[in-house]
Amino acid sequence: MSFEQCKDHPEPPPAYSLHQHACISLNSSDCLRFIRFPRSVINILRQAIIESWLRGIQREENYEDAHEFKLHGSPWWGQGDDAVPSRILMIHILSALYNNGWYLLTSTHISKKPYDQDSLIFELGIPPSPTSFFSVSFNDYDKLNLICAPSELIPAVQQTLGQETIQREEWCDSGTAYHFKLRGNPWISSGDKGIHSRIKLLSLLDCFTTFGWKLYASIDMNRGDEDRYTDSWFFYQYSK
């Protein structure tokens, strides 16, 4: 069959299998678009949003070939009152998908639009054992938040960072996040200080791994000032 004939009579797409792929895109400051997820999964995701995003859903609709949820508030600004809740929202979404057999394949930046966020590509597989998630966010130039992390990690992180590194620490957001304000500006440092910051991050990964937590995703969720906000990390562990 010639190229011209192929244009007029395209080959049918292959039947979906366990290797089906789907996508989440974070849009504007308040929209989630779910692309090529089956209706049953959209229903699960709706419930995850309702349970974790207390501001609620403003509206939902089909947007071209995607199912879009427009949320109240501005979760993708990544700062202010929505900073921690937006990560909690993403924890619930990742957990709901993972526990229904949808595994994150990659988070990727595929748009050149200013202040755009990542798209998340998922692959369908066999549902695993129940799994728990928590998040680490790096805010401003000197802040680190543990979000929905088990309390046993707090003293381990304190020891890993070292008291000489910690300027201030406290529970915040009604006890859902533990906040560290660090000395200096580790997230904007360069040279020898930049190396030191990365060594601290490697030590944190060592710490989490020791407790059975593995890095699952590094996601750019922020539409705000790109100089002040970096990726958020998401960790997972099979429930004991």
User: Does the pLDDT of residue 5 top 70, yes or no?
Assistant: no
Does residue 39 belong to any structural domain of this protein? yes
Looking at the structure, tell me whether residues 171 and 221 fall in a common domain.
Answer: yes
Which of 124, 151, 183 is a domain's end point?
124
DSSP 192-227: HHHHHHHHHHHHHHHHHHHTT-EEEEEE----S-TT
User: Does the pLDDT of residue 232 top 80, yes or no?
Assistant: yes
Which of 124, 150, 182 is a domain's end point?
124
Looking at the structure, tell me whether residues 120 and 136 fall in a common domain.
Answer: no
Which of 81, 104, 124 is a domain's end point?
124
Does residue 62 belong to any structural domain of this protein? yes
Looking at the structure, tell me whether residues 46 and 137 fall in a common domain.
Answer: no
Tally the domains of the chain: 2
Looking at the structure, tell me whether residues 33 and 105 fall in a common domain.
Answer: yes
Spatial separation of the C-alpha atoms in residues 52 and 199, rounded to whole Å: 33
Looking at the structure, tell me whether residues 139 and 118 fall in a common domain.
Answer: no
User: Does the pLDDT of residue 2 top 50, yes or no?
Assistant: no
Determine which of 11-15, 63-67, 87-91, 204-208 has the lowest per-residue pLDDT on average. 11-15
Does residue 10 belong to any structural domain of this protein? no
Looking at the structure, tell me whether residues 168 and 69 fall in a common domain.
Answer: no
Q: Edge-to-edge, what's the strand order for the sheet holding 31-35?
A: 57-63, 66-71, 31-35, 21-27, 119-124, 102-108
Does residue 4 belong to any structural domain of this protein? no
pLDDT per residue as tens digits for the range 41-53: 999 999 999 999 9
Looking at the structure, tell me whether residues 113 and 184 fall in a common domain.
Answer: no
Looking at the structure, tell me whether residues 112 and 146 fall in a common domain.
Answer: no
Per-residue pLDDT, 111: 61
pLDDT per residue as tens digits for the range 166-198: 999 999 999 999 999 999 898 888 888 889 999
State mean pLDDT over 126-151.
Answer: 91
Looking at the structure, tell me whether residues 142 and 108 fall in a common domain.
Answer: no
User: Does the pLDDT of residue 142 top 70, yes or no?
Assistant: yes
Looking at the structure, tell me whether residues 66 and 159 fall in a common domain.
Answer: no
User: For all residues of the chain together, what is the average pLDDT?
Assistant: 86
Per-residue pLDDT, 204: 96
| Residue range of the domain that includes 194 | 131-238
Looking at the structure, tell me whether residues 113 and 190 fall in a common domain.
Answer: no
